[in-house]
Amino acid sequence: MTTHIVSSNMIPINKPWIGEEEKREVTSVLEENTLTTAARDGGKRVRDFESQMRNYLKAKHVLAVNSGTAALHAALLAAGIQQGDEVLIPSFTFVATANAVVAAGGKPVFVDVKKDDYTIDVSDLKNKITKKSKVVIPVHLYGHLSDMDEIAEVAEKHSIDVIEDACQSLGSTYKKKQTGTFGTMGCFSMYASKVLTAGEGGAISTDSDELADKIKMIRNHGMVEGYDTRVLGMNLRLPELSAAVAKVQMQKLGKMLEIRRRNAELLSKMLFPSAKKSGIKIPQETADKKFNWYLYTVAFENNRDRIKDALAKDNIGATVYYSPPVHKTPFYMQVAPGTKLPSTEWCADHVLSLPVHPHVSEAEIEQIANSLQAALEK
């Protein structure tokens, strides 16, 4: 096993912002000794968190679960995915998107992405639709927005459900509307590295009363009252301890996003001159698409790995997400053999994400920019 020695002054790619308020809330859960509950509506803190997130997203329902993967899995079960139903997904994403499809009995059909923002390519989506297509899962990768209007149009034409993978995009907006509120359901993650954390955790947003009822059963072994399992479900509940952290994090979300934006804008400003000169592609918002800046991802024409190593020597935790892409992993090469996605494969070989999380100071942003420029000049 290779041991990576990380210097204490390393700028990590992501780091949760946990303060005294989270510690107090967790302590009060321990003192009350109600660590979790199998109640249909969840525990007190689960309900508090769901209510905060509902207000933030302006969604009718938010259901907390114990991971982003659980959110995707539960959403697919709620959508009624049967054995062999096709689910259209990008391959340039974390493997959870595909794993949830397989776990629900569906067949993942991989769609290429656009090089400019790493989200699903609608023209390739149209080519991949068949009579078996039941759901499309656009992934708002790195907090970048998928083309939701075009995707909705295609989905409607073919009677396909849209389930958004918004696991990385809490706080990103498309035409001033939050991600996770465009499809029939939106799935969020509260993993340790995300813009809002519960350690582990997830949530599903929906405006459908029927789907909300179904998800409440699915996250709790399919039960409604006692041992009366009515649909296939599992234990996907969010414990009170995790909800306690998430609840406090929701109160800081605006502030955390503000600092990420400040850092990202500063980094863009510093990198812009060398971007023009050396052909690196820096992330850019549009009038309609505003990012949460979960990851600040740049693309290089070449030498990506050499630059990543140079940054590591300068104690900057620049990271490659996602190489190999899902269709190139050993398991999915068996599930979907012969899949060719040229843009996805190009992105996997050329992108690099840089730290802009709330713990990164302005001086460190300058350090990142200088280190990157020096590496480009070599």
What pLDDT sits at residue 8?
60
pLDDT band at 105 (very low <50, low <70, confident <90, very high): very high
Contact 98, 69 (CB under 8 A): no
Q: Which of 78, 155, 159, 165 is nearest to 122 (CA)?
A: 155
Confidence of residue 291 (pLDDT cuts 50, 70, 90): very high
- Is the pLDDT score of 6 beyond 80? no
Residues facing 2 on adjacent strands? none
The answer, yes or no, to whether residue 2 has pLDDT greater than 50, is no
Amino acid (one-letter) located at 231: V
Band (pLDDT 50/70/90 cuts) for residue 320 is: very high
Strand order in the sheet with 133-136: 61-65, 202-206, 185-189, 161-165, 133-136, 86-90, 107-111
- pLDDT bin (cut points 50, 70, 90) of residue 231 is very high
What is the reported pLDDT for 13?
98
pTM score: 0.96
Q: What percent of the chain has pLDDT over 70?
A: 98
Task: Give pLDDT tens digits for 138-149.
Answer: 999 999 999 999
Q: Across the strands, what pairs with 220?
A: 235
pLDDT at 144: 98
Per-residue pLDDT for 100 more than 70? yes
The predicted-structure confidence for 118-164, as pLDDT tens digits, reads as follows: 999 999 999 999 999 999 999 999 999 999 999 999 999 999 999 99
The full set of domain ranges for the chain reads 20-249, 253-377
| CATH T-level fold of 253-377 | Aspartate Aminotransferase, domain 1 (3.90.1150)
Is the predicted pLDDT of residue 180 greater than 80, yes or no? yes
Q: Band of the pLDDT at 1, cuts 50, 70, 90? A: very low
> What type of residue is 176?
K
Cα dihedral 344, 346, 347, 352 sign:
positive
Out of 6-10, 190-194, 206-210, 298-302, least confident range: 6-10
Report how far apart, in Å, the C-alpha atoms of 68 and of each of 80, 213, 363 are.
Answer: 19, 19, 33
Average pLDDT, the chain: 96
So what's the pLDDT on residue 330? 98
Q: Are strands 86-90 and 133-136 parallel, antiparallel or unpaired?
A: parallel
- How far are the Cα atoms of 49, 85, 286, 348 from residue 113, in angstroms, in the given order? 33, 22, 18, 11
Exposed, middle or buried: residue 130 (CB in 10 Å: 0-12, 13-18, 19+)? exposed
250-272 per-position pLDDT tens digit: 999 999 999 999 999 999 999 98
The stretch 233-239 carries a mean pLDDT of 97
Tell me what percent of the residues of the chain surpass a pLDDT of 90. 94
Instruction: Label residue 5 by pLDDT band (50, 70, 90).
Output: very low
Indicate whether 33 pLDDT > 70. yes
Angle at 111 between CA 105 and CA 112, to 5 degrees: 155
- CATH architecture of the domain formed by 20-249: 3-Layer(aba) Sandwich (3.40)
Two tokens, residue 248? 């406090």
- Sheet with 177-178: strands ordered across: 177-178, 173-174, 289-290
50: Cα within 13 Å, side-chain hemisphere: 24
